[in-house]
Structure 1
């Protein structure tokens, strides 16, 4: 297992047909992969949904921040 205090890892994800790079710590990549699997959808599709929610905010955070917030919020909702 990767230590929890690991620097972010950059990966490319396609959103609405164009690739974008997202930097997340390995823990968040694991959480994102698990969330996508739970929803039976590709990671890119889940990131697209999170991005759509993010841009509706009055002051939208960056995409990586939005993903982290979404993951933590959804983890709390499941407890």
Structure 2
């Protein structure tokens, strides 16, 4: 994990439904995504595919990187409410 949250985005490749794409997220969000995938018992690609499917169904779908950030914050909120 990065010591400071103020770090530029890092681009990484993921595979969604057999298609490779790259996503730029700050290291903090990459860490959170890996932690969420471990909690869910899913590979990171599978969790990203799930988030992507949810975002596509939204009334105003954001870009994938934004959708991941929003999903992670919502997940954090859900877990803190429990």
Fold match by TM threshold 0.5? yes
CA distance in 1, matches of 2:33, 2:49: 12
Match of residue 73 from structure 2: 72
Residue 58 of structure 1 deviates from its aligned partner by 1.3
For the residue of structure 1 that corresponds to 2:15, the secondary structure is: strand
Residue 59 of structure 1 deviates from its aligned partner by 1.2
CA distance in 1, matches of 2:7, 2:20: 24
Match of residue 6 from structure 1: 7
CA distance in 2, matches of 1:36, 1:61: 21
State TM-score, norm by structure 2: 0.94
Structure 2 residue runs of 5 or longer lacking an equivalent are none
For the residue of structure 1 that corresponds to 2:47, the secondary structure is: helix
State TM-score, norm by structure 1: 0.97
CA distance in 2, matches of 1:32, 1:24: 10
Q: Which runs of 4+ in 1 moved over 3 A?
A: none
Match of residue 48 from structure 1: 49
Match of residue 30 from structure 2: 29
Structure 1 residue runs of 5 or longer lacking an equivalent are none
